[in-house]
Amino acid sequence: MDYQKHFFEIYATLESIENTGEVAQYIPELSRIDASKFGVSLTTIEGKTFSFKDANEKFSIQSIVKVLSLILAYKELGKELWKRVGVEPSGSPFNSLVQLEYEKGIPRNPFINAGAIVIADVLVSILKKPKEDFLKFIQNIARDNSITYSKKIALSEKQSAHRNMALVYLMKSFKNIKNDINEVMDFYFSICSIEMTCEQLNKSFLFLANNGSCPIQQKEIIRISQSKRINAIMQTCGFYDESGDFAFRVGLPGKSGVGGGIVAVHPGKYCVSIWSPKLNKKGNSFLGTKFLEDFTTRVESSIF
Amino acid sequence: MDYQKHFFEIYATLESIENTGEVAQYIPELSRIDASKFGVSLTTIEGKTFSFKDANEKFSIQSIVKVLSLILAYKELGKELWKRVGVEPSGSPFNSLVQLEYEKGIPRNPFINAGAIVIADVLVSILKKPKEDFLKFIQNIARDNSITYSKKIALSEKQSAHRNMALVYLMKSFKNIKNDINEVMDFYFSICSIEMTCEQLNKSFLFLANNGSCPIQQKEIIRISQSKRINAIMQTCGFYDESGDFAFRVGLPGKSGVGGGIVAVHPGKYCVSIWSPKLNKKGNSFLGTKFLEDFTTRVESSIF
Amino acid sequence: MDYQKHFFEIYATLESIENTGEVAQYIPELSRIDASKFGVSLTTIEGKTFSFKDANEKFSIQSIVKVLSLILAYKELGKELWKRVGVEPSGSPFNSLVQLEYEKGIPRNPFINAGAIVIADVLVSILKKPKEDFLKFIQNIARDNSITYSKKIALSEKQSAHRNMALVYLMKSFKNIKNDINEVMDFYFSICSIEMTCEQLNKSFLFLANNGSCPIQQKEIIRISQSKRINAIMQTCGFYDESGDFAFRVGLPGKSGVGGGIVAVHPGKYCVSIWSPKLNKKGNSFLGTKFLEDFTTRVESSIF
Amino acid sequence: MDYQKHFFEIYATLESIENTGEVAQYIPELSRIDASKFGVSLTTIEGKTFSFKDANEKFSIQSIVKVLSLILAYKELGKELWKRVGVEPSGSPFNSLVQLEYEKGIPRNPFINAGAIVIADVLVSILKKPKEDFLKFIQNIARDNSITYSKKIALSEKQSAHRNMALVYLMKSFKNIKNDINEVMDFYFSICSIEMTCEQLNKSFLFLANNGSCPIQQKEIIRISQSKRINAIMQTCGFYDESGDFAFRVGLPGKSGVGGGIVAVHPGKYCVSIWSPKLNKKGNSFLGTKFLEDFTTRVESSIF
């Protein structure tokens, strides 16, 4: 299928509608981004890639990394992991403390901030050199050693992290954080600062479209059943308080980040990554979400 | 694929584990059911059916009907419907009033009780003879005029409906119920009382595995995009507070009822219905859920 | 002390400030009231009465009656009553269902709507002819047979009672309502419709300023310890979500109603009633609250 | 009145009932206390003191200090203070984050932990040498330079303060904490570590029974209206989630601490302090609460 032609046509349509989104303001480094940037790239499991506009420009992947940290923790710990974090959608804004308090410090799922911090704590326990080891894990999957952390973003994030600090202390009070809080949060802020291009994102996530194995390297990253479960969690929890709406409109499992990136996976077919910095009120890329909705509608292809 | 052989083998495995579920107690009529009943049936979009044990015995489909009432309302009203009910998972027990109050009487999704009552209100507004017309709608889809209401169940339900009455009055106070409360609730209790066999359920839901068209009659019930959206809502909201877990373990969109029934759909492949009356703590069939988990694991086939 | 002089002077001061309150709109009968009405009356336990302006005009006492229904139920049932309703401030808007759900149908206190409905249910169980008997109880305390129900108000209230109906059904689902819902609510709406003048309110509440005994008739209405406890509940729960603020600013136990009335009691000294129909955002008389604050500040006399 | 005789007789009665309370376990230093300790002391505004048993033994006053820190902040800031903290009862457990999140970082009242931390932040802004200046303030009121901090308790508290850290970070995210978090919390933990005897507590609180002026030194500590307001806040918010119950049973404004201490004030009459380390489920002294209830019932004297 000529995906590039579709990208071109959908983009033309969307140029006419007003983008009412806002670039993330909560950390200075993110707020300075050029709001007009737009990139999309699709890679099939056969290895063909279709890119459009700024698909080779790096941006801050932010929460998208939470899928990769979850995968490494799940790979290592197996189903023991689910004692410390759930797999249910949260049904409330992405940083709410309310549910966490009612549920005794066990976060609803690994993609809300609290859950991703628990995953960070797990990795700090497991990995010898957490930051180096985690980066190597991603570089290996993506076959790309140029992927790296942004120290600037990590620092900026750290300085405006009061709410995340509240979350981690609350979980510590429920004994669901095992390591030193500063070490856990330093690791957490670092992994959220990773920068990638749309094409690199595809390379990092393609195995989820192929039952857990990289189709290029013919190498199993995680088992089939694990791959299906990661996709299921992305489907039900990948878009904060808008996960149901994304499933409804786009129909693919995926994950968004406040940098304006979205990765979505069509099992058995392809991985698609998109980047547009302005966010809707729920914190997901305004144009990215609309683009993917038009895309799956136009090609009449979703998992449903 | 010889699905019947799989059914036989999975059932043999599950017989050894203890069924810690409980038959629904909240209405007398349901509590009297024989807890050992078990039926499963799978129908492919090519029209082949594989049945096992009590697949031809009628049971109370209860909340499963909420998919069919949603479909009729959606078909008639189109996207106007989403002004009155959301598509997000609720993240709290299926009958909670809390979220409904915070969100000003707009239920999170059409499958929690509040949402299904709003859908009932919509149908009371639209249909000339709500009960007759709705039954005819289902009979037509399933090509089976023997499907009908159970007056006993409807009456029993009515008499223990205090919490549902609280829900409907709360929504009325927010002006999200337009008709007379008694008429709406009478219709709601009736449709929840419908009885079907596993095979009849398959016939009623097969079009959702086939992009909205009945593959037997070659007739469009709803449009492709609508069919995908209904499946998406089933995936994220079909199992009360356990929807994420069902997606995680089974990996198919579906809907359960407190009668112990579950319908699940594999788009492009089949519809499968299962019945076992004992429920787990979240209100979903204990054995039914486990059976479907083993089934999709064994045939290595889910939408993810 | 020349209370009348104080009334005159405080009223003069308050005329210059803007009354940003709003007359209660939720039932037509209340919304039609003349917003400029103002009455205040103080009766000492020695029997002296000081009245100002419209102190002899009848108005709808609304929730103020909840103190009198509580007293009758407490008198009859003793401390058994506290199994069905608490004595803690609610900390949330006066008609919230949230807390009621978390606390399994036991209302926080007898002055929020849910609590007053439970008290109504108790009285329906106890009294032979609930409406007649309750009215007689009040007429006897006040030595005034002209006090009576307003059928118009009761009817108007009934027709816009969706939220109260939600409350009573929710409590019924938790088995904290024993009688037929329609009978309970009919009684509840009737007692809320009682009309009194400021002077009649004083006569009905004076015994609470005198350790439970009417100083005029020298007759015990309730025991000393009970009288103190009723005053304590008024202090902590008498003004919906503004009870702490009323204690802070006025420093007297009291009870307000959405008709714009307030009764306050200075144990050992006097009872004071005030009426001004415009309500602040929390549902308490705007001018009434301010007037009482200025009054207790000026005479440097509160229970604290 | 011979208060000592009453103390003796009440104590004799209470010895026969089982004390089902538990000594506070959350910090090691408090858990080691001798649970059988019991002291009570009453000082009238005329200066007479009646003491019983361990009334001259020091214990950790914990949250009781929150009244004194509030007073100093109120004295300095006046009503500006109420922009940063409310005066409403919280209606939920004393350390809940839920309400704080819904109400945008403004604590309900100055006696829940969040509120007391805001007060600590205010004092850190105002005082030159916060710890020294605050201690001097108390020593002056009590005319007793032996009152001091316990470094052991403060340190112990600091090490198990995860939930308080969550609170302060949450408020910082809402910009309701102005100073460095570590400095604020260091001050907060210090003031909570103050140790006093029952008699010293009376000396520190007697002015609240005397319209804000110390009757011994004839010196105004705070103005009359301020004194009444502090008492009002103690009445509605002084006993965590049990404030309504304490008003109901005891009928005096007061404040408790997890060290097992309670101070209560009868305006115009006396101040009474009591100490018994075992706490009931709401975190208030089990025996202390019962003793005060029997006391005010027996002497038939409360503010109501």
Q: Where are the domains of chain B?
A: 3-298
> Measured between CB atoms, does B289 come within 8 Å of chain A?
no
pLDDT tens digits, residue range C184-234? Answer: 999 999 999 999 999 999 999 999 999 999 998 899 999 999 999 999 999
How many Å apart are CA D145 and CA D204, to the nearest integer? 12
DSSP string covering C174-200, please? TT---S-HHHHHHHHHHHHT-EE-HHH
Chain A CB contacts of D96 below 8 Å: 101
Q: How confident is the model at residue D1 (pLDDT cuts 50, 70, 90)?
A: confident
Interface test with D, best of C228, C250, C252 (most D CBs within 10 A): C228
pLDDT tens digits, residue range A16-55? Answer: 889 999 999 888 888 999 999 999 999 999 999 999 999 9
pLDDT of residue B95: 56
Out of C99, C244, C302, name the one closest to residue D109 (CB). Answer: C244
Q: Do C89 and D236 touch (CB under 8 A)?
A: yes
Q: B183 CB contacts (<8 Å, ≥6 apart)? A: B124
Whether A283 shows a pLDDT value over 60: the answer reads yes
Q: Flag the least confident range among C8-17, C126-135, D188-197.
A: C8-17
Out of C225, C251, C304, name the one closest to residue D297 (CB). Answer: C225
pLDDT tens digits, residue range A242-255? Answer: 999 999 999 999 99
Mean pLDDT of chain B: 94
pLDDT of residue D29: 85
Q: How confident is the model at residue A92 (pLDDT cuts 50, 70, 90)?
A: low
What percentage of chain B carries pLDDT values higher than 90?
A: 87
pLDDT of residue D174: 95
Chain D CB contacts of A173 below 8 Å: 162-163, 166
Q: Do C236 and D247 touch (CB under 8 A)?
A: yes
For residue B210, the chain A residue with the least C-alpha distance is A304
pLDDT of residue B92: 67
Nearest-CA distance A124 → chain D (Å): 20
Query: What amino acid is encoded at A91 in this protein?
Result: G
pLDDT of residue D92: 67
Mean pLDDT of chain C: 94
Q: How confident is the model at residue D275 (pLDDT cuts 50, 70, 90)?
A: very high
> Measured between CB atoms, does C17 come within 8 Å of chain B?
no
Mean pLDDT of chain A: 94
Mean pLDDT for C259-283 is 97
Length of chain B: 304
Residue C202, CB half-sphere, CA atoms under 13 Å: how many?
28
Q: How confident is the model at residue D95 (pLDDT cuts 50, 70, 90)?
A: low
CB C47 within 8 A of CB C216: yes
Out of C88, C109, C304, name the one closest to residue D267 (CB). Answer: C304
CB A59 within 8 A of CB A40: no
How many Å apart are CA B42 and CA B51, to the nearest integer? 6
Mean pLDDT for D141-161 is 92
pLDDT of residue C304: 94
CB A300 within 8 A of CB A275: no
Q: Do D304 and C267 touch (CB under 8 A)?
A: yes
Q: Do B248 and A241 touch (CB under 8 A)?
A: no
Task: Establish whether this prediction's ipTM goes over 0.85.
Answer: yes
For residue A175, the chain D residue with the least C-alpha distance is D162
Whether D93 shows a pLDDT value over 80: the answer reads no
Out of C96, C98, C170, name the one closest to residue B166 (CB). Answer: C170
CB A258 within 8 A of CB A279: yes
Nearest-CA distance D93 → chain A (Å): 12
Low-confidence ranges of chain B (pLDDT < 70): 92-95
Of the options 3.40.50.740, 3.40.710.10, 3.40.50.11540, 3.40.50.2300, the CATH number for the domain spanning D3-297: 3.40.710.10
Whether C178 shows a pLDDT value over 70: the answer reads yes
Instruction: Confirm whether D188 is a catalytic residue.
Output: yes
Chain C CB contacts of D264 below 8 Å: none
Q: Do B173 and C162 touch (CB under 8 A)?
A: yes
Q: What is the CA radius of gyration of chain A?
A: 18
Q: Do D251 and C233 touch (CB under 8 A)?
A: no
Closest among D254, D257, D252 to D295, alpha carbons compared: D252
Mean pLDDT of chain D: 94
The catalytic residues of B are 63, 66, 188, 240, 258
Q: In terms of C-beta density within 10 A (0-12 exposed, 13-18 middle, 19 or more buried), how is residue D131 classed?
A: middle
Tokens (6 digits) for B112 = 């929690």
How many Å apart are CA C256 and CA C264, to the nearest integer? 9
Mean pLDDT for C124-152 is 97
How many Å apart are CA D221 and CA D233, to the nearest integer? 17
Whether D159 shows a pLDDT value over 90: the answer reads no
What percentage of chain C carries pLDDT values higher than 70?
A: 98
Instruction: State pTM to two decimals.
Output: 0.91
Nearest-CA distance D249 → chain C (Å): 7
pLDDT of residue D99: 79
Q: Given C3, C51, C168, C188, which residue is catalytic?
A: C188
Q: Could you give phi then psi for residue A21, rounded to 5 degrees? A: -75, 170
Closest among D247, D251, D246, D250 to D280, alpha carbons compared: D246
Question: Which strand (E) or helix (H) includes residue A236?
Answer: helix A224-237
Look at the block and give the residue holding tokens 């991985």.
A271
Query: Could you tell me which CATH number the domain at C3-298 has?
Result: 3.40.710.10
Chain C CB contacts of D93 below 8 Å: none
pLDDT tens digits, residue range D164-207? Answer: 999 999 999 999 999 999 999 999 999 999 999 999 999 999 99
Out of B96, B165, B173, name the one closest to residue C163 (CB). Answer: B173
D window 79-108, beta carbon within 8 A of C: 86-92, 99, 108
Q: B5 CB contacts (<8 Å, ≥6 apart)? A: none
Closest among B276, B281, B223 to B78, alpha carbons compared: B223
Torsion A192-A195-A197-A202 (CA) sign: negative
Q: Do A173 and D167 touch (CB under 8 A)?
A: no
